[in-house]
Structure 1
Amino acid sequence: MAHVPNPRPAGDFRTSYKADQSLFCTHFEQWAVVTLVVLVALMPLVFGGYVLSQMILIGIYGIAALGLNVLTGMTGQISLGHGAFFGFGAFASAWIASKGIPVLIAIPLAGLMTTAVGMIFGIPAARLKGLYLAIATLASQFILEDFFGRAAWFTGGPYGSLAETATLFGFPLNTDERYFYLVLFWVVICFLAVANLARTRDGRALVAVRDHYLSAEIMGINLTRYRIMSFGISSFFAGIGGALYGHYLGFVSGEGFTILLSIEFLAMIIIGGLGSVSGSLLGAAFILLLPQVMEIFANGLADVFPAIAQGTAYIKQMSVGAAIILFLVLEPEGLVHRWRLMRASWKLFPFSH
């Protein structure tokens, strides 16, 4: 009998728990991610100004949205106060840096401070669910907003506070080209951390709490512990994102961290894909760029219908709300689900149906 070469497995073929928990399904996927990171790292050599500023903001918001995805997407705990924790991280890093601590150290310290605050609010919220949890986290939003306005020693009060410029070995990161790499570093670190968290025992416990908390409790999972832990993890990434945001702008004001920002973070994870690591970044890019695309579209229509020019600001805000409704109805699993379908279609072509 002629020797038949070992055929390649078709589709998603795994034979062990180790393979099932691998960070990358195939070597091609691993090298594709590495190649993508390298190409993104080369962007400052090609682009400048506006494009880099948008990439920096997408990375910053993506980190904060990643934290909310751990809380809401992985653990099933809704939060309407994420924007306030984002702001607390910005103020905390500016305050720490004002004490003479280098900005590169102040950023993770701000994340830890925000973690402590998030866990404090997470203690009562850990015993709530549904509408009651939403109201409790909404209360944290208003409490922190009031704190930003009154704690002049920490936030500068209504005047805000200056955020020091980040430096690396005495080299100031005071341009978009330089600051881009700092944000890229934290994006890679944070997204790898959460991707690995999902593979661990604690990560599976968080998902179990989300899917069926009664069954999880019967299996021995401490619901209170993991819910508080998810609030802490979520707040840490919100603090890191806020710290990067504050030092990028160079000035932090409480007016920028309202309930509207918290809703935008929720929109990011809904549109990107609940429980998806990469979906957080896709959702952040979508929410950040959609109003700008709509503004260009409205300005184009204004040449034909001049009255539209007066409603451009409303069109930009309405576009976000409309996008949330459309995704909930037409694509509830988010952009990442659509990408997976496209990838499967390419992989299995011509038998993708």
Structure 2
Amino acid sequence: MAAITSDRADGPNALAWVAPVAILIVAFGIVPYLGSSYLIEAIMLPFLALSLAGVGLNILTGYAGQVSLGSAAFMAVGAFAAFNFNFRIDGLPLVVSIMLAGGVAAAVGIVFGLPSLRLKGFYLAVSTLAAQFFVQWALTKFGWFSNYNPSGVIDAPALSIAGIVFEGSIGRYYFALIIVTALTFFAWRVATSQTGRNFIAVRDNETAAKFIGVPVLKTKLLAFALSSFIIGVAGVLWAFAYLRTVEPAGFNLDRSFQILFIIIIGGLATIRGAFFGAALIVVFPVVLSRIGSFLLGDMFDSGVLDMSQRIVLGALIIAFLILEPDGLAALGRRFWSRIRTKVGSLSEA
């Protein structure tokens, strides 16, 4: 198996900050003003939420090596917890509600991460899959979570940070972008700290990690907590900023597999890989729909689109696992290395 590389492999380099800064300038200063409403609503908002969920899962699976198939369950916990904190506690700022909701998701993640102390691999994946079914059952069984709404679907509250209300598609985009930027930086700091090195040590060899003094059990549970916290906040963005509703159907098993595919395609143990993978997952159906409509016309309906998407996406995953196990992040890293080499050669000339 090819070695899994991490973001730390790039090392300190002034040029390494050029791409992230340029992306942030484009994201904050250009996209909202030049992008259409369709671009914001249908592409950028789901991209941001899924990217953050991918970052959270990569902390657990990519860095710590713990397999999880219950990501959508932790997203649902975050979304419903944020709604209830905001709805039931008067005067509580929305940002505080979101952070508390992330804490609830982290607590649930620790509970379902307890089997990782004894289980590994496929068996751990099955145990985390139980979280998916249990959470969806609980949210539909007990009406308190949705304020006893007969349909189980509740409207998301108004979005605000420090008294600033984010309205419309551009406002919701900025709201999601600010939170994703902050938590991505937090995840990067964790991944490049001693905690991140402990995650990698546990992933590579638990026995060796114990000998060098890494608290394996504590490290595993911490990975579940941090991952679930980030994924829970991603669930809030998915419900509040993108869907504008909070409902269990928005966090089904397909969503868990979608997030898993994001980190496989984007690249394990790399923060940027979550964004590469999410970009492909979000843009791919749009491109496939346009191509299908152009080639087949009316024959290419939603059912054909869904089936075609699953087939092509499955083929892409197999291709990446065989040809480039490190995902799109490795391709981007090689591309960026060539640019830096050319820039260096030009400066020397």
Fold shared by both chains (TM-score > 0.5):
yes
Any conservation in 2 of the 1:83–1:259 contact (CA below 8 Å)?
yes
| Structure 1 contact 61–241 (Cα < 8 Å) conserved | yes
In structure 2, what is the Cα distance between the partners aligned to 1:155 and 1:125? 31
Q: Is this contact kept in 2: 1:299–1:312, CA < 8 A?
A: no
Contact 1:165 1:250 in 2 (8 A): no
Residues in 2 aligned to 1:35 and 1:348: alpha-carbon distance in whole angstroms? 19
* Partner Cα distance (1:113, 1:350) in 2: 47
Q: CA deviation at 1:24?
A: 6.5
Which residue in the other structure is 2:139 paired with?
148
Q: Runs of at least 4 residues of structure 1 off by over 6 A?
A: 20-24
* 1:308-323 superposed matches below 5 A: 308-309=300-301, 311-323=304-316
Please state whether the residue corresponding to 1:77 is helix, strand or coil. coil
Give the Cα separation in 2 of the matches to 1:126 and 1:240.
25
Q: Is the 8 A contact 1:81 1:262 kept in 2?
A: yes
Residue 102 of structure 1: aligned partner: 93
Tell which deviates more after alignment, 306-315 or 94-103.
306-315
Instruction: Select which of 114, 136, 161 maps to 1:123.
Output: 114
State the SS of the aligned residue for 1:159. coil
- The match for 1:48 among 29, 36, 43 is 36
Q: Is the 8 A contact 2:74 2:228 kept in 1?
A: yes
Q: Report the counterpart of residue 74 of structure 1 in structure 2.
A: 63
Paired residue secondary structure (1:98): helix
State whether residues 199 and 219 of structure 2, in contact with CA within 8 Å, keep that contact through their aligned partners in structure 1.
Answer: yes
Identity across matched positions, percent = 31
Asked if the contact 2:159/2:175 (under 8 Å) is kept, the reply is no
Distance in 1 separating the partners of 2:300 and 2:323: 28
Question: Taking structure 1 as reference, are residues 23 and 173 closer, same or farther at Cα in structure 2, changes over 3 Å only?
Answer: farther
CA distance in 1, matches of 2:135, 2:184: 27
Q: Whole-Å Cα distance in 1 between the matches of residues 11 and 28 of structure 2?
A: 21
| Residue 255 (structure 1) shift | 1.2
Q: How does 1:278-317 map to 2 (within 5 A)?
A: 278-303=272-297, 307-309=299-301, 311-317=304-310
Tell me, yes or no, if structure 1 residue 258 matches structure 2 residue 252.
yes
Which residue in the other structure is 1:7 paired with?
none
Matches of 2:323 and 2:344 in 1, distance apart?
A: 25
Show structure 2 runs of 5+ residues with no match.
Answer: 1-6
Equivalent pair of 1:66/1:280 in contact (CA under 8 Å): yes
The residue that corresponds to 1:190 in the other structure is 183
Equivalent residue number for residue 165 of structure 1: 158
> How far is the alpha carbon of 1:121 from its aligned partner?
1.1
Match of 2:218 in 1: 225
1:159-201 CA deviation, whole Å, 9 max, x = no partner? Answer: 2322211124554322111121211111211111111112211
1:36 to 17, 23, 46: 23
The 8 Å contact of residues 295 and 315 in structure 1, kept in 2 or not, is answered as: no
Structure number with larger C-alpha Rg: 1
Name the counterpart of 1:178.
Answer: 171
Q: Which residue number in structure 1 is paired with residue 12 of structure 2? A: 25
Instruction: Give the CA RMSD over aligned residues.
Output: 2.2
Residue correspondences, number:
331
Cα distance between partner residues in 1 of 2:343 and 2:83: 55
Residues 94 and 162 in structure 1, CA contact (< 8 A), matched pair in contact too: no
**Residues in 1 aligned to 2:161 and 2:195: alpha-carbon distance in whole angstroms:** 35
Q: Distance in 2 between matches of 1:293 and 1:21?
A: 33
Which has the larger share of helix? 2
Kindly indicate whether residue 261 of structure 2 is the aligned counterpart of residue 274 of structure 1.
no
Matched, 1:341 2:317: no
Q: TM-score, normalised by structure 2?
A: 0.89
Evaluate the alpha carbon distance shift between residue 208 and residue 174 of structure 1 in structure 2; reply closer, same or farther with a 3 A threshold.
same
Indicate the SS of the match to 2:218.
Answer: helix
Matched to 2:250, the amino acid is: G
CA distance, structure 1, for counterparts of residue 97 and residue 343 of structure 2: 53
Among 232, 235, 244, which residue is 1:239 paired with? 232
**Contact preservation (8 Å) 2:57, 2:71:** yes
Q: Is 1:91 the counterpart of 2:85 in the alignment?
A: no
Q: 1:308 to 1:162 in 2, by over 3 A?
A: closer
Distance 1:51 1:277 in 2: 24
Amino acid paired to 1:45:
Y
- TM-score in terms of structure 1 length: 0.88
Distance 1:242 1:133, change over 3 A: same
- Deviations 1:1-28, CA, capped at 9 Å, x for gaps: xxxxxxxxxxxxxxxxxxx979963223
Q: Deviations over 1:193-238 (max 9, x none)?
A: 1111122111100000011111111212121111111000110001
Query: 1:316 Cα deviation (Å)?
Result: 2.3
Answer yes or no: is the 8 Å Cα contact 2:65–2:203 preserved in 1. Answer: yes
